[in-house]
Amino acid sequence: MVKAAVKEASVPGAAAHRWFASALVLIACSVSDADVKAAEMSPDKLPYPTAVALSSDKGKWIYKSFPALLPLYIFDGEPNGQSACDKTCSAVWPIIQAQKDDKPMGLWTIVKRDDGRLQWAFRNKPIYTYFEDSPDDARGIGKNMDWYLDEGAIAYLRSAGVSLPMEAIEAERKKGEQKKMLAVLLPPLN
């Protein structure tokens, strides 16, 4: 045993090899069993909520809302596991609501919102649709989460049939700086 240790120490790069092997073990330990199982499965075999549909488009798997088949969004900059989009915001960015009996599955988790509702999240990022989208037209891409606080946006929303309570808008404006969270489409699965 002593000879093996001495022999290994004299082999060039042995210390780097041991370090690399240790790093791989640490990385493997930080990934959950559910993540490993999900990564091993084909996207069309992964479980997903009934409020979501999965379809293939140009060789990639895409989740959409169900039954409306609207594009799904996450917000860059939104903290994992919590929604920064309050009840007023969700009039413009409707949530994909989870029911009280729903359970996390595959890559999908559930976030409890400040307003008490449950919301589906993909890889711990809350999921939204956009009020102006249609199944083949994603208009929310690149929009800031609270763009609707601007005067012109309020007039536009009213003309589109979306009414936001003025007292809620004024309260949001008084908070100061707008949230810098941009809408991006939920990425397709390979």
Model confidence pLDDT, tens digit, residues 147-188: 777 767 777 777 877 777 777 777 777 665 566 788 999 988
> Mean pLDDT in the chain?
78
Q: How confident is the model at residue 164, as a pLDDT?
A: 74
Going by their DSSP bridges, the two strands 108-112 and 97-98 should be labelled as unpaired
Q: How confident is the model at residue 4, as a pLDDT?
A: 44
Q: What is the arithmetic mean of pLDDT over 35-41? A: 55
Please, are residues 56 and 12 in contact by the beta-carbon 8 Å criterion? no
Place of tokens 């599955």: 105
Rounded CA-CA distance 165/125 in Å is 27
Query: What are the sequence ranges of the domains in the chain?
Result: 2-30, 44-185
Highest mean pLDDT among 17-21, 111-115, 145-149: 111-115
Q: Report the percent of the chain where pLDDT is more than 70.
A: 75
Residue 67 in 3-state DSSP? coil
Q: How confident is the model at residue 34, as a pLDDT?
A: 57
Q: How confident is the model at residue 22, as a pLDDT?
A: 39
